[in-house]
């Protein structure tokens, strides 16, 4: 798992049938202090996150597990919204 910051929504007029009805967000990975790491990417949202929120994500094959009935072809899924990070 890793941390990220939601930058905004993605709207697609055409996508894989397994991703129909799925909310897609653009996210950038962040470190523990909130600094961006790497380039922004698209993630499936399993919990209703929104722009500006700090989230935690999973990647790889596990990214499809929150959507067990659909099994979307995704390598990033948002699993939770982070309220605070404490030292």
2-33+48-81: which CATH topology?
A: OB fold (Dihydrolipoamide Acetyltransferase, E2P) (2.40.50)
Span 46-67, pLDDT tens digits: 889 999 999 989 876 665 556 5
Domain ranges across the chain: 2-33+48-81
Give the span between the Cα atoms of 1 and 87, in whole angstroms.
18
| Beta-sheet pairing, 76-81 with 54-59 | antiparallel
Looking at residues 69-83, what average pLDDT do you find? 80
Looking at residues 18-41, what average pLDDT do you find? 89
Give the pLDDT of residue 55.
Answer: 96
pLDDT at residue 18 is higher than 80? no
Q: Vertex 67, ends 43 and 81: CA angle to 5°?
A: 50
Q: Which two tokens stand for residue 41?
A: 């990417």
Dmax (CA) of the chain:
43
Q: Vertex 83, ends 78 and 77: CA angle to 5°?
A: 5
Q: Which of 29, 25, 28, 30 is nearest to 8 (CA)?
A: 25
Give the model's confidence band at 79: pLDDT under 50 very low, under 70 low, under 90 confident, else very high. Answer: confident
Looking at residues 30-57, what average pLDDT do you find? 92
């Amino acid at each position: 798992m890793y941390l990220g910051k939601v930058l905004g929504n993605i709207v697609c007029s055409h996508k894989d049938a397994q991703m129909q009805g799925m909310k897609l967000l653009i996210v950038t990975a962040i470190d523990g202090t909130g600094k961006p790491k790497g380039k922004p990417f698209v993630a499936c949202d399993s919990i209703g996150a929104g722009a500006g929120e700090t989230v935690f994500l999973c990647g790889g094959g596990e990214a499809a597990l929150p959507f067990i009935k659909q099994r979307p072809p995704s390598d990033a899924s948002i699993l939770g919204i982070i309220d605070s990070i404490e030292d």
